[in-house]
Structure formats: C-alpha cells, structure tokens
Chains A and B, each alone.
Chain A
Amino acid sequence: MKRTLENIENQFETFQILNEDGELINEELMPELSDDELKELMTRMVYTRILDQRSIALNRQGRLGFYAPTAGQEASQLGTQFALEKEDFILPAYRDVPQLVWHGLPLYQAFLFSRGHYHGNQMPEGVNALSPQIIIGAQYTQAAGVAMGMKKRGKKSVAITYTGDGGTSQGDFYEGINFAGAYSAPAIFVVQNNRFAISVPVEKQTAAQTLAQKAVAAGIEGIQVDGMDVLAVYAATKDARERAVNGEGPTLIETLTYRYGPHTMAGDDPTRYRTEDLDNEWEKKDPIVRFRKFLENKGLWSEDQENEVIEKAKEEIKAAIKKADGQPKQKVSELIQNMYEELPAHLEEQLEEYKAKESK
C-alpha cells in the first residue's frame, strides 16, 4: 500500500525571498518592483505598525472599541494588499482593517468601525470591499460568490479574502475554497497562520503539517509563504492574481506570521498561553526589521525617512480620531431606516415612535 501524506507535505515548502538579515535568498523570484514601490511598501508597513501602537493606546484610553492587534502581520497583510488593483474586492476578517485602509477606507471610518458606528462600514464609492467579518469563515463562501460574479461579468479582477489558522477548521473555509475551485473563480484565499487562535495553538486545529495543503481538498493551488517576508508575500499574491484573472482559478496562500500583541483588546492575555522564548523567536523575524535592512543596503531607506513616516502616521491618526469624534451619534430611527429599501408596516410604526422620542 502506497502512503502519500509525506509526499503531499513535501510539496508545501515555505516560499521565501528575503531572509531574516534582509538578504535576497531567492533572487530569481524577486518581484518586479520599482524603487518607489519598494519604499511605498516600507512606508505602509511602518505606518501600520504605528497605527497598531496608537490603536492599542487609544483603546486603553477608551477612545476606541473593538480592536484586534496587527503588529507582526504587516508583511502578510500589506504584501497581499499591495499586489491588488483598485477593482479587486477585499473580504476581510476582523483583524484585516489595515488592508481596507490601504484599499481606500478613510482612517476615521476604520475607527468608527472599531467604536461601533454604521458610518464606519459605509465604503466610499469605488472602494471595493466589505467591512470586517466577525463570523469566522463566512467571508470565504462570500468571496467565492464575489469571484464567480466577477467571472460572469468578464472582469479582469479578483476577490481576496483572509482568515486565520483557527478559521481553517470551519466548514465555510472548506466550502469557500471548494466552490471557487469548482467554478474556477478568480479568488485568492489567504490564511494568516499566526500560530494561535486566541489561546489554541495551530497543532490543536489539525494534524495537517501545513495549512496550505488544505488546498488539495479543493483541487486548487496552495502555497506556504514566509509571512514575515513582504517580498515573498507580494510575489505569491501577484502570481495568484495573474493566474486568477487569466482564468486559471483560485489559490490558497498560507502566510506564516505572528501577532506580537494579544488576540484582541478585550482582556486576552497571551502570557497565559505563549512562552517568552516563542515571542523572542518571532520578534527576530520582524517583517519591518528585515525589510529595513534590505532597503538600507540598497540605499533606499534612512532613519530620517522612517521618522517622517512615523510623524505623518501619528498626525493622521490624531486627525482621524478627531474626525471620528465629530461624527453625529447614531439614532434608532437611522438604524430602522437602514433595514430595508421599503420599510414594512411594523418598522414604519416603530420609526414613528422613535422619531417622536428623538424630537423631545
């Protein structure tokens, strides 16, 4: 009897372009990026790290609500988004606010999402995205549908969606990639494997040695990428996008990454389930440190440039929070009016009740 598990696992070696010292180890696979694009990628990563630090602080001050930290995942989140075009559609999970921001969602609206205000979810015209999905897995089946729709419309665009390592255990995860495969739909499914689903390590999710190999069950391409290497993440996404718009179907990309912070700011304490050694090990892989070295060696990045980005980020965050503060408070009458195109009689009745209360 022929055993095949080892053969399958061997097909999912981690794809890497930059090592931890910022050296090119896979030069032939280096994506075609101009100096300006390389600097823009770094700018976005630094900016997003500051956004995370400020968001945690603002959350602690009670000036933000729900917040899922992103530090450590910059390469995974921004490397994938950087490979997209404006017409591509993002279906993010709850940790994937940065991708939305870089796809065009104004920062103050991202803050309103955190606080729990519907205006935070009103994508501006031309920003092709849904707001962050709370139900783990739901974005995957929806992404298959978005991609099918694009294919039917003959568009040269893709749907991209994100979940975590824990999310790969959901039925909707599997159904999503399987539907997209069956219809050869232009979808990119990203699994950001940061090794923990709240407190549960990835080893408790599955006996599979990689998450990328789950693509095999859908009969689609799967790739495991060093998720701390922005060039590898970008190259894998770019390749998946090209194949998708050329009618070659979906791809599953597993990014090996790490969240330096807690799961969310709602009382999770990672010291209960993570060791200092593990934290230290992954801090050495910091995607910003690595890419900084790479750019400095090329003479494309300096401390001054970085400080400029940091200052800009802080200023814009301050302005965005101020703008969010200025957003009118929500009224029940507005919530009612957002339910249906035409309100049924029972809601008309309740609308009148609340309008009367609100006018007092």
Chain B
Amino acid sequence: MAQMTMIQAITDALRTELKNDENVLVFGEDVGQNGGVFRATEGLQQEFGEDRVFDTPLAESGIAGISIGLATQGFRPVPEIQFFGFVYEAMDAINGQMARLRYRTGNTMNAPITIRSPFGGGVHTPELHADSLEGLIAQQPGMKVVIPSNPYDAKGLLISSIRDNDPVVYLEHMKLYRSFREEVPEEEYTVELGKANVKREGTDVTLVAYGAMVQASMKAAEELEKDGIQAEVIDLRTVMPIDIDTIIKSVEKTNRVVVVQEAQKQAGMASQIVTEIQERAILHLEAPVLRVAAPDTVYAFTQAEEVWLPNYNDIIEKVNTVLNF
C-alpha cells in the first residue's frame, strides 16, 4: 500500500494498463514529453516510448476521431481532452460516432476507448475549464460515464474503464486531484463500473452524490450527526449507467432523499435519479426528493465560484427541508 493523491492513482492506473496490454495507447495535447498539464501522464512516455504515449496536434475532434480509427485496428485508445469544456469540439466523434460504433456495425466492431478529462470547480480556472458536462454524454446511448471521488476508486475505476470494450468518458475533478491522500494498493485491482458505493451508512436521509459533491455530502453528514440526524451517503462513482438498486435499497430504509450535484439544476444527472426513485419507490417516500445543484446560469466567473458552487451548507438546508416536510 502507498499513500497516493488521486492524480497519482490515475497515473498508476495508466502505467498498470500500459504494462498489461500492449494495445493501450495514451495520447492527447501535452501528455507525452510534458507528462500532462496536471502531471497525470508523467513519466509514461519515458517508460513506454513515443509509440505508446504521444502528443497530438491541438484539435479535440481529431483526437477523438483518430481514437475510433485506432480502435478498428485493435488498439485500446486512452485519449485525453485537456479540459472537458473543450468536449464540444469532439461531440460528434464521441456521441455521434464512437458511442454508436458497436450498434451501427451490428455488433461486429467496437470502440474500447476511454476518454480522460479534467473538470470541476473551486480551483479558479479560466472560462470553460470547470463546467460539469457529464449530463451531455450520459444522455447518449452507447456511452458510459465514470466520475471517481477519491484515489482508491480513481485507480480501480480507470483500470475497469480501460478494460471495458465499450467507450467510457472518465471525468477527473480538478479539485480532487491533490486535495487529499489515501491508501492505494500498489498491485492492480478493479472497481466495477455501474456500481455505487455506500460511503456512510445512515437511517434518516439518503444523500446521492458524485464527484466533489461526495466530500461535501460527507461533511454535511458529519454536521447533521451533531443534531442527531443520520445521513446515508451514496457515491455513484459511475453516473451512466446509474446503480439504481443501491439507491432504491437506501431509499427504502431512509424514506427521504436529496440528490447532490455540482452541475446546474437543468444539467447533470440529478433529474434522472429523481425520476428513477419516483418510478420505483414512491410508496417509500415520506417527502419529495429534492436536488442540490448550481443555479441555471453559465458557469460562474472565477471570483463568483464561492457563492455559485453548491456546498455542504446547501446540502444541510435541503436535508432539513425533507426532514421537516
């Protein structure tokens, strides 16, 4: 075991898979010699060579497009989009193309591609770096979307994503890159895609969260405990497909739910989760399912992040509303 930050766990997962499978290719803007703008790919080109880990021209659509071509030649591409706000440039190649490859070829071809990309607020990035756009990809049949919230999951989920034979968008929250260390096994292990994790057991209310909002929910749960309220915190880990079973099991126990996301209310995954709960567990609910989300504006100017981004106080407020409904 070693103490690792999330970014180190990600590098470790990439190294593991580059070693395990010669078809794994890591590429993107500045991921080679430079080791990535966040050092996620540091040392990998030196270790595995330019044929396996390489820089690309500055063009997201091209990066995603070549991934599909490389996949037809039996490779397992792990491209990087430098910031997920730049995904719009690659939307056709992702949602219009790789998501559909297996289906459109009648299951004769597939796209075992893992797109890594940083996102997330609270670190004062310039425009279109921090936007939460997971909802756009999650609405595309054929895609999977993974968002780890800690170093242990980050490694296990990334290895699973790379080994998955269908395309995965793997989103890395920038605020979580180096915010804490955790024990991460040095050997390889996987965390199953599509499986949520109950981070904290509770009986009074269920908090469903992902990304940086998992930590915020854990902090809210600690505060709530001081008032004798036991919150159960579920970290989705994979936001598409959603682990409905784990959520419903928790709802049947607590009868109250708040879904927490960093994305704007009209975006993200919260609405989908609320709908699933009302379709499957309405008779277990003592109160409506409420959402914590950012306001429906464009992502905040840097200096407004603090007042704009959802935080643990917003979560506590919503929990009190559902408890007192």
Q: A residues bordering B, Cβ < 8 Å?
A: 89, 91, 118-119, 121-123, 130-131, 135, 138, 140-150, 152-153, 159, 171-172, 175-176, 178-179, 182, 335, 337-341, 344-347
Q: Whole-angstrom distance between the alpha carbons of A135 and B243 in the complex?
A: 33
- Does any Cβ of A come within 8 Å of B194's Cβ? yes
25 contacts between A and B (CB under 8 A): A131-B104, A135-B96, A135-B97, A138-B92, A138-B93, A140-B65, A144-B65, A144-B66, A149-B70, A149-B75, A150-B73, A152-B73, A171-B59, A172-B61, A172-B62, A172-B92, A175-B65, A178-B62, A179-B56, A179-B57, A338-B107, A344-B144, A345-B194, A345-B243, A346-B241
Residue count of chain B within 8 Å CB distance of chain A: 43
Interface residues of B in 180-195 (CB under 8 A from A): 194
Select from chain A the residue with minimum beta-carbon distance to B55.
Answer: A182
Interface of A is mostly: helix
Q: In the assembled complex, which residues on chain B have CB atoms less than 8 Å from the CB atom of A152?
A: 51, 70, 73, 75
Q: Whole-angstrom distance between the alpha carbons of A152 and B110 in the complex?
A: 19
Q: In the assembled complex, which residues on chain A have CB atoms less than 8 Å from the CB atom of B102?
A: 338-341
- Whether B61 pairs with A141 at a CB distance below 8 angstroms is yes
Known: A118-B106, A335-B103. A148 touches B61 (CB 8 A): no
Q: B residues bordering A, Cβ < 8 Å?
A: 51, 56-57, 59, 61-62, 64-75, 92-93, 96-97, 102-110, 141-142, 144, 164-166, 194, 241-245
- Whether B69 pairs with A338 at a CB distance below 8 angstroms is no
New A-B pairs, 13, CB < 8 Å, besides A176-B62, A179-B57: A121-B106, A130-B109, A141-B62, A141-B66, A141-B69, A144-B65, A144-B69, A148-B66, A149-B72, A153-B73, A175-B57, A345-B243, A345-B244
Q: In the assembled complex, which residues on chain A have CB atoms less than 8 Å from the CB atom of B68?
A: 141-142, 145
Q: In the assembled complex, which residues on chain B have CB atoms less than 8 Å from the CB atom of A150?
A: 73
| Count of chain A to chain B residue pairs whose CB atoms are closer than 8 Å in the complex | 135
Known: A118-B104, A179-B57, A345-B194. A146 touches B93 (CB 8 A): no
- Whether A142 pairs with B69 at a CB distance below 8 angstroms is yes
Q: In the assembled complex, which residues on chain A have CB atoms less than 8 Å from the CB atom of B71?
A: 145
- Whether A159 pairs with B106 at a CB distance below 8 angstroms is no
Known: A141-B65, A175-B62, A176-B65. A339 touches B141 (CB 8 A): yes
Q: Out of B66, B109, B166, name the residue touching A145 (CB < 8 Å).
A: B66
